[in-house]
């Protein structure tokens, strides 16, 4: 539907710097907004998505101010990158997702459908997640 497409487009962000310190995940990191935390360490915070798209839908975010996977890969230190990706794997393992499997996904920019301008990886699990990418419309 065109209305939905325009709305989704309008809600998407570029995924490129500058970093907006007022974004919702920055506020969660500062403790200004609550979250259902599942893991925290020096480099990452993981919490349940507020609008889950699967029985398990967890977000893993780095603690540093990175807008997207592009910004993170270009600007984060080796320690931040290693620490973050180890946390992603650990969260999935600790939640017991490895046996049945899960999907790890990140959206970048407008075509990627990114809505929150702080890099995050989605973990989806608890059912067959289905098609990786929807069929093109029209
Ligand atoms: P994106 O589209 O940027 O990849 O995903 C953003 C995700 O953040 C969405 O799945 C959305 O439901 C989630 N989200 C947005 N606001 C909040 C919030 O305040 N708390 C939590 N836990 N998740 C949020």
State the CATH number of the domain containing residue 20.
Answer: 3.30.428.10
Task: Examine residue 131 and state whether it is found in any structural domain, yes or no.
Answer: no
Kindly report the three-state secondary structure assignment for every residue of 14-54.
CCCCCCCCCCHHHHHHCCCCCCCEEEECCCEEEEECCCCCC
DSSP state of 82: H
Number of domains in the chain: 1
- Catalytic residue check, 122: no
**Predicted pLDDT of residue 2:** 46
Walk along the chain (138 residues) in steps of 10 and give the mean pLDDT of each run.
48 94 98 98 98 98 98 98 98 98 98 97 98 86
**Predicted pLDDT of residue 10:** 54
pTM, to two decimals: 0.93
Work out the widest C-alpha separation in the chain, in whole angstroms.
Answer: 46
Query: How remote is the CA of residue 40 from the centroid of ligand 1, in Å?
Result: 18
**Predicted pLDDT of residue 11:** 84
User: From the alpha carbon of 113, which atom of ligand 1 is closest?
Assistant: 2
Task: Examine residue 133 and state whether it is found in any structural domain, yes or no.
Answer: no
**Predicted pLDDT of residue 5:** 47
DSSP state of 136: P
* From 48, 57, 118, 120, the catalytic residue: 120
Task: Examine residue 135 and state whether it is found in any structural domain, yes or no.
Answer: no
**Predicted pLDDT of residue 31:** 98
Write out residues with Cβ below 6 Å of ligand 1. Answer: 24, 33, 35, 47, 49-51, 107, 113-116
Task: Examine residue 138 and state whether it is found in any structural domain, yes or no.
Answer: no
């Amino acid at each position: 539907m065109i209305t939905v497409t325009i709305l989704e487009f309008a809600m998407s962000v570029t995924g490129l710097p500058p970093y907006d310190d007022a974004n919702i995940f920055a506020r969660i990191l500062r403790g200004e907004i609550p979250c259902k935390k599942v893991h925290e360490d020096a480099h990452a915070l993981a919490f349940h998505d507020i609008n889950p798209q699967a029985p398990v839908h967890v977000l893993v975010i780095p603690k540093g101010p990175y807008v997207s996977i592009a910004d993170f890969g270009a600007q984060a230190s080796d320690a931040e990158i290693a620490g973050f990706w180890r946390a992603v794997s650990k969260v999935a393992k600790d939640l017991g997702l490895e046996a049945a499997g899960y999907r790890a996904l990140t959206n970048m920019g407008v075509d990627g459908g990114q809505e929150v301008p702080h890099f995050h990886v989605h973990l989806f699990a608890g059912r067959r997640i289905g098609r990786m990418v929807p069929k093109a419309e029209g």
